[in-house]
């Protein structure tokens, strides 16, 4: 469905935009096309071309979500989202983190294959960073792709208050052939009627069991963002869903989303669809080529997605995310997109250890609790793995809600019901386990010993019991693990 509402053609001068532009290619968009969306870049204070060194401060700051709508949010460097950290694959990233929040916190680097000491989990990786305290994260970034960072202390509250940011790891050798790139951080935030942040406990244990969704839906920290785009010119969208519960189901009026990658960089080959679902924690690498007359508007919507009992009833069917106005430029018609491919070796499953897990919801002493059980799971929800061991996880969801399961520190390959890799093959660290369904994946643990968390990325569910650890290697970790999420 094309937008019927037409405005006078927007007159935009043609010049080459440098914003959001991949190296070595010329932008096809009008200058300032992404001004309504562009994330601030983190400032690299290290002159070494292979080291990115930044200062990151968590603090309460006033942010504007929409005209006339500002709030004292929890921020990294004063913004929601925090700064976009751009590195090249193989670079060292050094982050001087300072906590100026009224609560302890940590920073977790979601999806990055780093040493356990840098994983940001309190009690396992590091002590909590107290108010006024600091911590230096320092690790090499081994994989290209879009990653993200967020706290791992009271994360349902802290992420909900605005603490998240994108980490884009670029590979200069990738042949994607699209100059114009957007990093889109999808989130939501709950405000009370008086405009302040809603309490993370609002609605009590029932709301926690459902997973709380925010009242204000945001793209790069803005409600109803805007973009000016040239018809026919391809755009590369690097998208991450950082919302604490909300699934995004993207729809651009029937335009095609060409997916070339996901959590762990490019996938085996591209696939095309006219809607695209992103569960909390997941990322997507999409090519979008809007087509419409100059002055026309296309609206990117998130259509309500059924993630289990009671999650769609009585709700508005969609949220408007971005209004894209077609520039007053002749449509672009040049060039074909390269056939973006990546060869991915299937992990061998013969000889792999079978780990069977079951997710249930039971009535605890006071509140409903999520349980993870299985033959290889101890009572404190830990799974053992040897260094270098390959495991096939079969996760059955017997609860009434879907659970996007995230594994720290390792990528896995999703398998079909026959145990063959799902095509196109891709590396993932977060996979949705739909209600009443079973999902399988194969993972190879390497030499990085430690207790690596796995949990539902609906953060209320994680805090409601849906989290555990994989203890890789015999030694475990120096710090005593405790269940502070
Ligand atoms: Cu993105 Cu343990 O989380
Ligand atoms: Cu869940």
Q: How is 360-399 classified by DSSP, letter by letter? A: EEEE-SSSEEEEEE-TT--TT-EEEE-TT-EEEEEEEE-S
Task: Please report whether residue 42 resides in a domain.
Answer: no
Q: Which residues surround ligand 2, an ion (CB under 5 A)?
A: 403, 456, 458, 461
Q: Are residues 164 and 187 in the same domain?
A: no
**What is the number of structural domains in the chain?**
3
- Structural domain including 465 reads 353-475
As averages over each run of 10 residues, the pLDDT of the chain (485 residues) reads 38 37 75 97 98 98 97 98 98 98 98 98 97 98 98 98 98 93 98 97 94 97 97 97 98 96 98 97 97 96 96 94 97 86 97 96 90 89 96 97 98 97 98 98 97 98 96 64 43
Separation between Cα atoms, residue 71 and residue 212, nearest integer Å: 19
**If DSSP codes are grouped into helix, strand and coil, which group holds residue 303?**
strand
Lining ligand 1 with CB less than 6 A are 108, 110, 150, 152, 281, 406, 408, 453, 455, 457
Q: Are residues 358 and 446 in the same domain?
A: yes
Ligand number nearest to the C-alpha of 430: 1
Q: How would DSSP label each residue in 248-273? A: EEEESTT--EEEEEETTEEEEEEEEE
CB 344 within 8 A of CB 261: no
- Could you say which of 123, 146, 170 is where a domain stops? 170
**pLDDT value of residue 24:** 52
Residues sharing a CB contact under 8 Å with residue 190, sequence separation 6 or more, in sequence order: 160, 197, 198, 202, 212, 213, 214, 215, 216
Task: Show the tokens assigned to 430.
Answer: 């977060």
Q: Are residues 153 and 58 in the same domain?
A: yes
Q: Are residues 209 and 259 in the same domain?
A: yes
Question: What is the CATH classification number for the domain harbouring 422?
Answer: 2.60.40.420
Q: Are residues 191 and 309 in the same domain?
A: yes
Ligand 1 atom, smallest distance to 462 CA: 2
CB 452 within 8 A of CB 410: yes
- Could you say which of 114, 141, 170 is where a domain stops? 170
Separation between Cα atoms, residue 351 and residue 332, nearest integer Å: 52
Q: Residues for the chain: how many in total?
A: 485
Q: Are residues 307 and 360 in the same domain?
A: no
Ligand 1 atom, smallest distance to 121 CA: 2
Separation between Cα atoms, residue 323 and residue 340, nearest integer Å: 28
Separation between Cα atoms, residue 209 and residue 369, nearest integer Å: 8
* Residue owning the nearest CA to atom 1 of ligand 1: 110
**pLDDT value of residue 1:** 37
Q: Which of 385, 381, 379, 326 is nearest to 353 (CA)?
A: 385
């Amino acid at each position: 469905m094309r937008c019927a509402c037409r405005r006078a053609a927007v007159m935009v001068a043609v010049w080459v935009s440098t914003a959001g532009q991949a190296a070595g290619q010329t932008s096809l968009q009008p200058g300032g096309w992404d001004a309504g969306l562009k994330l601030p870049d983190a400032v690299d204070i290290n002159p070494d071309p292979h080291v990115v060194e930044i200062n990151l401060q968590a603090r309460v700051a006033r942010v504007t979500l929409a005209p006339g709508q500002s709030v004292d949010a929890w921020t990294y460097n004063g913004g929601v989202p925090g700064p976009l950290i751009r590195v090249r694959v193989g670079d060292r990233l050094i982050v001087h983190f300072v906590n100026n929040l009224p609560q302890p916190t940590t920073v977790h680097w979601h999806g990055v294959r780093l040493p356990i000491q840098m994983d940001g989990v309190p009690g396992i990786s590091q002590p909590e960073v107290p108010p006024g305290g600091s911590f230096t994260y320092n690790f090499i970034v081994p994989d290209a792709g879009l990653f993200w960072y967020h706290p791992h202390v009271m994360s349902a509250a802290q992420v909900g208050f605005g603490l998240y940011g994108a980490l884009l790891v670029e590979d200069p050798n990738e042949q994607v052939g699209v100059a114009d790139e957007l990093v889109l951080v999808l989130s939501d935030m709950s405000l009370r009627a008086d405009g302040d942040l809603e309490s993370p406990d609002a609605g009590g244990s029932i709301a926690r069991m459902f997973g709380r969704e925010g009242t204000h839906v945001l793209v790069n920290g803005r409600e109803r963002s805007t973009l000016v785009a040239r018809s026919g010119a391809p755009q590369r969208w690097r998208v991450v869903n950082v919302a604490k519960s909300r699934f995004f189901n993207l729809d651009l009026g029937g335009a095609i989303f060409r997916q070339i990658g996901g959590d762990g960089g490019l996938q085996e080959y591209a696939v095309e669809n006219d809607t695209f679902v992103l569960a909390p924690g997941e990322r997507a690498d999409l090519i979008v080529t809007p087509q419409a007359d100059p002055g026309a508007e296309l609206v990117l919507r998130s259509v309500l997605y059924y993630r289990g009992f009671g999650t769609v009833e009585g709700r508005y069917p969609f949220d408007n995310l971005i209004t894209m106005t077609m520039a007053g430029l002749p449509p672009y018609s040049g060039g074909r997109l390269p056939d973006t491919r990546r060869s991915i070796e299937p992990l061998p499953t013969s000889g792999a250890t079978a780990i069977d897990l079951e997710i249930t919801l039971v009535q605890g002493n006071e509140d409903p609790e999520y349980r993870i059980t299985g033959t290889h799971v101890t009572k404190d929800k830990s799974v053992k793995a040897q260094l270098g061991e390959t495991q096939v996880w079969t996760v059955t969801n017997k609860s009434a809600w879907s659970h996007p399961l995230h594994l720290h520190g390792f990528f896995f390959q999703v398998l079909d019901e026959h145990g063959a890799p799902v095509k196109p093959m891709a590396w993932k660290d977060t996979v949705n386990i739909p209600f009443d369904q079973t999902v399988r994946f194969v993972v190879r643990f390497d030499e990085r010993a430690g207790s690596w968390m796995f949990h539902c990325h609906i953060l209320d569910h994680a805090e409601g019991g849906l989290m555990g650890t994989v203890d890789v290697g015999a030694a475990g970790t120096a710090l005593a693990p405790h269940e502070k999420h």
